[in-house]
């Protein structure tokens, strides 16, 4: 029997743990952790993401601070805002919603965020810390992917992991996290030769590509754990649908466990963002360890 990994339930559990940590910090230190989100422009998908983050942050007991700037905002002004948030003692986490309008360099803006407030884990410092195996803030989607894999098998040590996709946001940090779990990691990408054969080697197969159902059922080794990060909007039989990068119906037969889309990795991203924010608050304010 294949286990369908319930990302919604795991995310709800994590959000509850965060809420408990927030309550403890409030009670013991009279501190309410705060997340500041910067949104530039009117991108409809980004507006939805920011709204969801706002609601989840408040539900966890943390303070949510929103800065919505017009599309025409100059890069210098976004940088100035980030610098102000860096200096603000009340702000624990800073998230700049991507994508930024084309005239603004996201690279420059992201690297202005103080690493200890970088709850998206996208600054060079946090990427470096992850690479070096040092404590830092880890990107949310890869973090959520590993948590889901570990709900199936607590100890991933020695397993062969294949990560398809090598983006800075997902693929690379996911590979680093799996390496930290003592997996033997292969990173595959658009130039990989015989991707099917590479995937068939995987005990843990992670897809973060952005191509609907790229990974076929017969690319999945019997008994593998399949983590599908992809979120693709397609039209099928006249209906709009969300599908992953894995051909779920076919892959499910071979896999021991698989994440569905929607309801798999997706809900973990915001839960891990909340986790990073409370972690950042505790570390930055010297409040001791939180789980
Ligand atoms: P990117 O477009 O940044 O990266 C895609 C990666 O896939 C690249 O490394 C690319 O390789 C690789 N790739 C492209 N085509 C192929 C191919 N034919 N075979 C093998 N590899 C290929 O995407 P992201 O990493 O940002 O996102 C990946 C997916 O995850 C998307 O569907 C996105 O919507 C989803 N996502 C989901 C999130 C969630 O919360 N669940 C959060 C973030 C993303 P190369 O480097 O060689 O070009």
Nearest-angstrom CA–CA distance, 196 and 219: 5
Is the sign of the CA dihedral 112, 51, 59, 177 positive or negative?
Answer: negative
Yes or no: domain 30-116 corresponds to CATH 3.10.20.30: no
Output the CA–CA distances (angstroms, integers) from residue 93 to 82, 142, 192, 221, 262, in the order listed.
Answer: 11, 18, 37, 40, 27
The pLDDT score that the predictor gives to residue 288 is 76
Catalytic residue list contains 143:
no
The tokens for 64 are 């949510």
User: Is the distance from the beta carbon of residue 166 to the nearest atom of ligand 1 less than 6 Å?
Assistant: yes
The tokens for 191 are 């130039």
The pLDDT score that the predictor gives to residue 291 is 64
User: Is the distance from the beta carbon of residue 169 to the nearest atom of ligand 1 less than 6 Å?
Assistant: yes
Instruction: Write down the ipTM of this complex.
Output: 0.99
The pLDDT score that the predictor gives to residue 290 is 75
The pLDDT tens digits of the residues spanning 134-172 come to: 999 999 999 999 999 999 999 999 999 999 999 999 999
Residue whose CA lies nearest to ligand 1 atom number 19: 190
Show the 3-state SS of 24-43.
HHHHHHCCCCEEEEEEECCC
Domains 30-116 and 140-266 are alike in CATH topology: yes
DSSP conformation class of 215: B
Q: Does residue 166 have a known ligand-binding role?
A: yes
Ligand 1 centre to CA of 221 (Å) is 21
pTM tops 0.80, yes or no: yes
Closest CA to 114 of 81, 141, 87, 134: 87
Q: Domain 140-266 belongs to what topology?
A: Rossmann fold (3.40.50)
Ligand 1 centre to CA of 19 (Å) is 31
CB-facing half-sphere around the CA of 137: CA atoms within 13 A? 31
The residue ranges of the chain whose pLDDT is under 70 are 291
Q: Where are the domains of the chain?
A: 30-116, 140-266
């Amino acid at each position: 029997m294949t286990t369908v990994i319930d990302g919604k339930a795991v995310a709800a559990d994590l959000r509850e743990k965060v809420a408990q940590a927030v309550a403890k910090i409030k009670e013991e230190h009279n501190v309410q952790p705060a997340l500041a989100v910067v949104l530039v422009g009117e991108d409809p998908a980004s507006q939805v993401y920011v709204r969801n983050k706002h609601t989840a942050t408040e539900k966890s007991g943390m303070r949510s601070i929103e800065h919505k700037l017009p599309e025409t905002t100059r890069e210098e002004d976004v940088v100035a805002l980030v610098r102000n948030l860096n200096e603000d003692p009340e702000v624990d986490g800073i998230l700049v919603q991507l994508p930024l309008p084309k005239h603004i360099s996201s690279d420059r803006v992201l690297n202005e965020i103080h690493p200890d407030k970088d709850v998206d884990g996208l600054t060079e410092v946090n990427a470096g810390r992850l690479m070096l195996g040092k404590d830092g803030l880890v990107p949310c989607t890869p973090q959520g992917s590993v948590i889901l894999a570990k709900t199936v098998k607590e100890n991933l040590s020695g397993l062969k992991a294949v990560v398809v996709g090598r983006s800075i946001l997902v693929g690379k940090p996911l590979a680093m996290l799996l390496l930290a779990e003592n997996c033997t990691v292969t990173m595959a990408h658009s130039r990989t030769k015989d991707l099917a054969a590479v995937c068939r080697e995987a005990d843990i197969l992670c897809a973060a590509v952005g191509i609907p159902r790229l990974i076929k059922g017969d690319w999945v080794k019997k008994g593998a754990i399949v983590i599908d990060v992809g979120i693709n909007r397609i039209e099928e039989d006249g209906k709009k649908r969300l599908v992953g990068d894995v051909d779920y119906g076919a892959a499910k037969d071979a896999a021991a466990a698989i994440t569905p889309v929607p309801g798999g990795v997706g809900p973990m991203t915001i839960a891990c963002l909340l986790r990073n924010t409370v972690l950042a608050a505790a570390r930055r304010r010297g409040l001791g360890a939180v789980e």
